[in-house]
Structure 1
Amino acid sequence: MTTRRAAFGMFAILLFSYVINAIDRQLFSVLASDVRVALDLTLPQVGLASTVFTLGMGLAGLPTGYLLSRVSRKNVALLGLVIFSAATYLTAYAQGFPDLLLYRFVSGLGEAMQLTALLAIGTSYFYQHRAIAASSLNFTFGIGAIIGPNLGAAILGASHWQMPFILFGLSGLLALVLIVSCVKPWFTEAAPLLVTTEMASITGNRLWSRTPLLLAMATAFSGLSIYGYLGLYPTYLREALGFSPQQAAMAVSCYGLGALLSLLGGWLGDRFDFHKLLTGSLLASALFGGLLFTELNRSLPLHAGLSFAFGAAISGMVYANLSAGIIKSLPPNLAAQASGLFVASLYIPAAFAGYLLGLLKTQFEWSLAGITQISGCALMAALLTLTIKGRPSSSLARETI
């Protein structure tokens, strides 16, 4: 019991550090209009700057998965924390488009290192509850997605656009001290035991087998939908609908409220056919995401409600079960590489989501551009999940955690 409580306590500290990761990721989109004016950027440029950090995340995903087989997970998580916190701090001192892109890209490298390490830690120690362990990360992402936009907008109102980046960049120091002093290697470096016959159905799978690749493709389209929304939705609210920074922050933070349903999504995915859950959730994401960009929708409460519904579907259900699904489709000795495959599949395409939506806006009006990308990509992901035959190993024999 003491060991179990200690493990929960250490995982809670790691999840707290991931809240800071989520805050850093969500901060830029709310400040994008101010950064655009200060640095004289075009809409496609600020759209690219909003999501280019995901290119860093994606490119670092697979290498980090292999790095974890040679370096301790704790050290990789710490290194990632230092890198993305420093890059967030330096974003405040960007002088133009090139160095802004560089800082945003580097922040993604660090965020991917931390995310991949934490996924490997959680799904290895709590192996028999992998979907819940993976979804707990997205749950804490939801907390950061609520805090980041609202607190960032409040700091902006009291100061200038650089100050939120400075303060949130420095906040990583607290998480660094807690992890170094409190998180022990027996927890972070734990390996799952191969004790169940259910593993027999997936031990032949390799990283590039059909099922993990199809799930990775579905993840890529989901990333284009998620980060099209996260990258330029606040800009759409401010520039097309005339919302204030505080109103836009409130609307987009409701997406984070929806992400808090990740634990429910993980629980459902551990117990039922997660393919059906994924398909239904992706169809719901296409519906709610499209409605967010319709001209019928000009009220703040309606935007907040639809953002919550979109976040609940695509972040609370889809994200949780895609990440766990890829890990479930591979044997446990490939858990770190599976985590890296998920991170790469989600974030490499997502790097261009904001730029793509910005380009679509230059060719069409906001509504058609938003529906085409947000809804269309979610529908493509749903079609891919329908082509997957069989089912990766679901929950194994239940453990008491």
Structure 2
Amino acid sequence: MQKRHVALGMFAVLLFSYVINAIDRQLFSVLASDVRTALGLTLPQVGLASTVFTLGMGLAGIPTGYLLSKMSRKSVTLIGLVVFSAATYLTAYSTGLPDLLAYRFISGLGEAMQLTALLAIGTSYFVRHRAVAASSLNFTFGIGAIIGPNLGAAILGATHWKMPFIVFGLSGIVAIAVIVPLVKPWFSEAQALPDSTGNAQDQAELAANESLWARTPVVLAIATAFAGLSIYGYLGLYPTYLREALGFTPKQAAAAVSFYGLGALLSLLGGWLGDRYDYRKLLFLSLLLSALAGGLLFTDLGGSLTAHAAMSFVFGATISGMVYANLSAGIIKSVSRAKAAQASGLFVASLYIPAAFAGYLLGQLKQSLDWTQAGIVQVSGCALLAALLAIAAGTRCAIKGTPASADAARRPA
């Protein structure tokens, strides 16, 4: 029991570092209007800059999954931290669209390395609670999503648009200084062993897909791609919609978006439900609610900040708290434990490669339609497509029926 408490403490340290990752991801959208003005960008261009980091995340996802078989997970986590923190810092010194896109893309590479490594660490050590382990990352993302927009807007109000990037870029040093001495290899490099006390886990292992490209993980990956277009359409340009279409101040827009992060705090509940019930049905219902809330967010809602904050909370609770947690864990569950790291990479790639173009796509739709129609087409429509794919996915699961002793059956990698 004492060792388990120590393991939880080390996981908490890693989750703290992920808060910085989340802050970096949420920061740009609040500052997008200021960056657009300073660099003379069009709406589609700043929309692309808002989400292009996810292209870096997606392209790095699967290679990082394989890199984890060659390097320690702790090392990959630290490299990711260094890369995305440096890129965030350099974003402040962008002079035009090309270098802005380059820094944003590189930040995504580092963020993917950290995310993939942390997913592998959590889901490999806490075998019986993979959905909760995966959702705990999104829980901490929610914390960062609350802190990032509000603190970024406060720094912007006191200084200029460059300073938030500088401050949060340097904050990665703190996380590195904590991880290096406190996270031990017996935790970060743990691998689950086949259970010798019974047959249930062995049967579940045999029932799991040995191939990453079997039907269930592939269908869930496609659902993840559409969910990513919905999520990052909102995250990429929703604050711009509030500021430029509804006349909200930067602080008001940041406050509304931060309620998305508050909703994401329900990730632990989403993971708990996904570990106990049919995650496909949970995904279907959550995505339907996401589609409804996402469409309403791109209406004026009477110009009420309270109404927009409430809808942001519902959208965050459903698509981030429930959907993100169970899509990530679902893909990992659908393959054998030996493929867990690669499955983490598949999830990251599926979510973030399409999401890279979500802001640009929404910007283009807005030019052809209006903000409301564009939001309904992309944010609601993609969520509905993801719902249909999620319910159509198979149910084979690598940990169904895993006995209570599974978390103890580990050895260092």
TM bucket normalised to smaller: over 0.9
SS in 1 for 2:95: coil
CA contact (8 A) 1:273 1:391 kept: no
1:126 maps to what in 2?
126
How far the C-alpha of 1:391 sits from its partner, in A, is 4.0
Q: TM-score, normalised by structure 1?
A: 0.98
Look up the equivalent residue of 2:385 and give its one-letter code.
M
1:141 maps to what in 2?
141
CA contact (8 A) 1:224 1:353 kept: yes
1:364 aligns with 2:364: no
SS in 2 for 1:191: strand
Superposition map of 1:2-401 within 5 A: 2-195=2-195, 196-393=201-398, 394=400, 396-398=402-404
Greater mean deviation of Cα atoms: 192-201 or 62-71: 192-201
1:70-111 C-alpha deviation (Å, 9 max, x unpaired): 000000000000000000000000000000000000000000
Look up the equivalent residue of 1:319 and give its one-letter code.
Y
Alpha-carbon distance in 2 for matches of 1:337, 1:239: 41
CA contact (8 A) 1:215 1:384 kept: yes
- Gapped regions of structure 2 (runs ≥ 5): 196-200, 409-413
Look up the equivalent residue of 1:383 and give its one-letter code.
L
How far the C-alpha of 1:194 sits from its partner, in A, is 2.0
How far the C-alpha of 1:295 sits from its partner, in A, is 3.6
Taking a change above 3 Å as real, the CA distance of residues 294 and 70 of structure 1, as seen in their structure-2 partners, is same
SS in 1 for 2:339: helix
Taking a change above 3 Å as real, the CA distance of residues 231 and 200 of structure 1, as seen in their structure-2 partners, is same
2:198 maps to what in 1?
none
The share of aligned pairs that are identical, in percent, is 74
Alpha-carbon distance in 1 for matches of 2:374, 2:208: 43
Alpha-carbon distance in 2 for matches of 1:369, 1:220: 18
Alpha-carbon distance in 1 for matches of 2:153, 2:35: 13
How far the C-alpha of 1:390 sits from its partner, in A, is 3.0
Alpha-carbon distance in 2 for matches of 1:54, 1:302: 29
Greater mean deviation of Cα atoms: 384-393 or 188-197: 384-393
Taking a change above 3 Å as real, the CA distance of residues 119 and 395 of structure 1, as seen in their structure-2 partners, is farther
Alpha-carbon distance in 1 for matches of 2:184, 2:148: 29
CA contact (8 A) 1:134 1:323 kept: yes
CA contact (8 A) 2:208 2:396 kept: no
Look up the equivalent residue of 1:397 and give its one-letter code.
P
CA contact (8 A) 2:13 2:178 kept: yes
SS in 2 for 1:390: coil
Taking a change above 3 Å as real, the CA distance of residues 162 and 204 of structure 1, as seen in their structure-2 partners, is closer
How far the C-alpha of 1:389 sits from its partner, in A, is 3.1
CA contact (8 A) 1:116 1:339 kept: yes
SS in 1 for 2:153: helix
CA contact (8 A) 2:328 2:347 kept: yes
Alpha-carbon distance in 2 for matches of 1:117, 1:108: 14
1:45-73 C-alpha deviation (Å, 9 max, x unpaired): 00000000000000000000000000000
Alpha-carbon distance in 2 for matches of 1:367, 1:132: 35
CA-based RMSD of the aligned residues comes to: 1.2
- Gapped regions of structure 1 (runs ≥ 5): none
1:127-175 C-alpha deviation (Å, 9 max, x unpaired): 1100000000000000000000000000000000000000000000000
How far the C-alpha of 1:318 sits from its partner, in A, is 0.2
How many residues were matched structurally? 401
Look up the equivalent residue of 2:386 and give its one-letter code.
A
